[in-house]
Amino acid sequence: MQIEQLNNIKNEMHKQFVNRLQENESTIKFCLGVKSSGITADKKALILSMIEYVSERFDNALVMFDSDLDDGLTVFCGGKTEYYGVNDFNAAKTVVDKYLA
């Protein structure tokens, strides 16, 4: 094995770990509200796409369902909470991008 191969595996596995980390104060949490809709097939498809998208861009972020929140996307970041009434992947991507900076 060469070092590039090692790094490729590392980057691939890193994505798996993004949604498997212990949150801390600097973790950004993207929460999909499911209180009113429940975890539907659409919501599942949305969360998987978002996990993929977020894991490629963040080291310390979680994407999760939250059954205490209604529909939409709520983002917890640096002690602040913002709500976005988005329920599709394209709109959610724009929200995620806002937090990249």
Partner 1 sequence: MYRSHILVCGGTGCTSNKSFKIVEALNKELAERNLSEEVKVITTGCFGLCAKGPIMIVYPEGTFYHSIKVENVPEIIEEHIIGGKPVERLLHRENDGKVVNSLHETEFMKKQVRLALRNCGVIDPENIQEYIGRDGYQALAKVLTQMTPQDVIDVILASGLRGRGGAGFPTGLKWKFAKASQGPVKYVCCNADEGDPGAFMDRSVLEGDPHVVIEAMAIAAYAIGSNQGYVYVRAEYPIAVKRLQLAIDQAKEYGILGKNIFGTGFDFDLEIRLGAGAFVCGEETALMTSIEGKRGEPRPRPPFPAIKGLFGKPTILNNVETYANVPQIILKGAEWFSSIGTEKSKGTKVFALGGKIVNTGLVEVPMGTTLREVVFEIGGGIPNGKKFKAAQTGGPSGGCIPTEHLDVPIDYDNLIAIGSMMGSGGLIVMDEDNCMVDIAKFFLEFTVDESCGKCTPCRIGNKRLLELLTKVTDGTATLEDLDKMEQLCYYIKANSLCGLGQTAPNPVLSTLRYFRDEYVAHVVDKRCPAGVCKKLLKYSIDKDKCIGCGMCAKKCPADAISRTDYTAEGHKLASMAIDTNKCVKCGACMSTCKFGAVKKG
Question: Interface residues for partner 1 in 35-54 (CB under 8 A)?
Answer: 38-39, 44, 47-48, 51-52
Work out which of 28, 63, 75, 96 binds partner 1, going by CB under 8 A. 63
Distance of CA 24 to the CA centre of its chain: 15
Distance of CA 66 to the CA centre of its chain: 12
Tokens read off for 13: 């596995």
Interface region with partner 1, contact rule CB under 8 A, candidates 1-9, 73-81, 85-93: 1-9
Q: How far apart are CA 19 and CA 55, in angstroms?
A: 8
Helix (H, G, I), strand (E, B) or coil at 86: coil
In the complex with partner 1, which residue's Cβ is closer, 24 or 90?
Answer: 24
Question: Interface residues for partner 1 in 66-95 (CB under 8 A)?
Answer: 66-68
